[in-house]
Structure 1
Amino acid sequence: MHGQVIAKVPPRKGNRRWLHETVGIRSPEFNGDRWNLPRSSLVRLVTAAVDRYGFMVLWRDMSRLSQCTRACLEATGVECQCACLGQHHGQDAAGWFERVGDAVVADHGECTRTAVVYGARGSDVDAAVYHGELAGEHYRVDPSGRREWPTAAQFMCASCMTERASVWDHCHTHGFVRAPLCNRCNTRYWRGWRPQHGRTTHSRNLDDSYYGWCPQRADERRGCSA
């Protein structure tokens, strides 16, 4: 309601760098257990969070308006201030994320609060093997930067090759797109992954050769071998 974007991100080394370099926030402000971010970063934040974690939950506080319009259904952003309270917002848009769960609505007096789970947008085509369709492309989270990109779900996961990909992985050192991955392979190096916490172990059929789709990594290896 008041133009604030507050992000609660799982504690992890490199969060500030991720917000600065990947989401494109000049000076992210950390306050207690959350980050205070500019409103203009909301769409980029959702896109980047879906790529990093597989899904994210967006809470909105808003005032009710009289009707849900076509502009709401075709919206490409994530800000919604109409009577549907975010339940239908953007459902007809070709964005990079989509609602994957029901909206939870709560009455908070002067405003109404909704919570919507977003995940990567799927694809209706048969999954194909990735052959570097985005090789040499810099990773982007803004809609204009991804306008010509295929969805990750059009490909099989480049790491395990056992299920459809859902997010785009990128090189955090050089900033290039590497390959489409499934959520499990995309987070397998996170130390928070523990079977005793209810997370299944990843497949043993792993192939990290997709790292080579970063052109600067390939250059570094050639330099070392020389």
Structure 2
Amino acid sequence: MTGHHGVRIVDGRVVTAPGVGPVAQAWLPLDGQVVVKIPPLKGNYRWLHETVRIRSPKLLGDRWELPRNCLARLVTAAIDRYGFIVLWRDMSKLSRCTRACLEAMGAECHCSCLGAHHGQASGGWFERVGDAVVADRGEYTRTAVVYGARGSSADAVMYGGELSGEQYRVDRAGRRGWPPAARFMCAGCMSVRASVWDHCHTHGFVRAPLCNRCNTRHWSGWRPELGRSECSRNLDDSYYGWCPERADGRRACSA
């Protein structure tokens, strides 16, 4: 069993605590495309195309096939959208750590260390929040690792528009110089530490740091009877104003 903060892997199944809601899952086979399963929501193609920057996302049934080189961007974007992502990996037992692995900056790993010896994961934008679950598949090993937003040990402060006017990005170069969302209090409820960066899906600008609950409160289908906690009466959506297009009144901002 592995997991943390309401997401666990139990007997090979992903189990979420009440209020967490569905999380994204990705499978990295030994060869071929990354297979991704995300909650079926309107706008998934646009999210994969515009946010994760996949040229032609391919939907096969209830799963998406994506190129392997998108993995680090996918993990970062999925954490901002869902709070967590479970990454399943198949790795050859015969492989060994190389310098490329020891200095790796992404989530992909092909060696026997299961990614434990990677240098900085994604360059500081996500971290493992659960140990690997190992299953023996004969010639290869299958693992499941839960990734969540990078935390912060500093006291949380109020957000003051530190990323005002910045286009939302999920690549390492694009996020260079960004503070972690966990540095701030959630701009929605003002009661807990933030964990992810919210952005305007219409205009593409970073808006504010939010906690997972506030970040997902607008999504249809996540009702209390389905395991999602009711939102607080203290919710404040004035953080929408951090989108410069919203401030100019040109077009309405989307959640």
Distance in 2 separating the partners of 1:73 and 1:203: 44
| Structure showing the higher strand proportion among its residues | 2
CA contact (8 A) 1:167 1:182 kept: yes
Q: Which runs of 5+ in 1 are unaligned?
A: none
Give the structure 2 partner of residue 173 of structure 1.
202
Task: Give deviations 1:90-109, integer Å, cap 9, x for gaps.
Answer: 56764211001121111122
| Structure showing the higher helix proportion among its residues | 1
Task: Give deviations 1:6-26, integer Å, cap 9, x for gaps.
Answer: 111110000000001100011
Identity value in percent: 76
CA contact (8 A) 1:138 1:177 kept: yes
- Cα displacement (A) at 1:68: 4.5
TM-score (norm 1): 0.92
Distance in 1 separating the partners of 2:119 and 2:128: 9
Task: Give deviations 1:146-169, integer Å, cap 9, x for gaps.
Answer: 011000000000010000000000
Give the structure 2 partner of residue 27 of structure 1.
56
Alignment of 1:1-226 (within 5 A): 1-65=30-94, 67-68=96-97, 72=101, 75-90=104-119, 94-220=123-249
CA contact (8 A) 1:73 1:92 kept: no
Moved more, 72-81 or 140-149: 72-81
TM-score (norm 2): 0.82
- Cα displacement (A) at 1:190: 1.0
Q: Larger RCO: Structure 1 or Structure 2 (Cα < 8 Å, ≥ 6 residues apart)?
A: 2
Task: Give deviations 1:135-155, integer Å, cap 9, x for gaps.
Answer: 000000001100110000000
What is the aligned-residue RMSD (CA, Å)? 2.0
Q: Which runs of 5+ in 2 are unaligned?
A: 1-29
Distance in 2 separating the partners of 1:204 and 1:56: 28
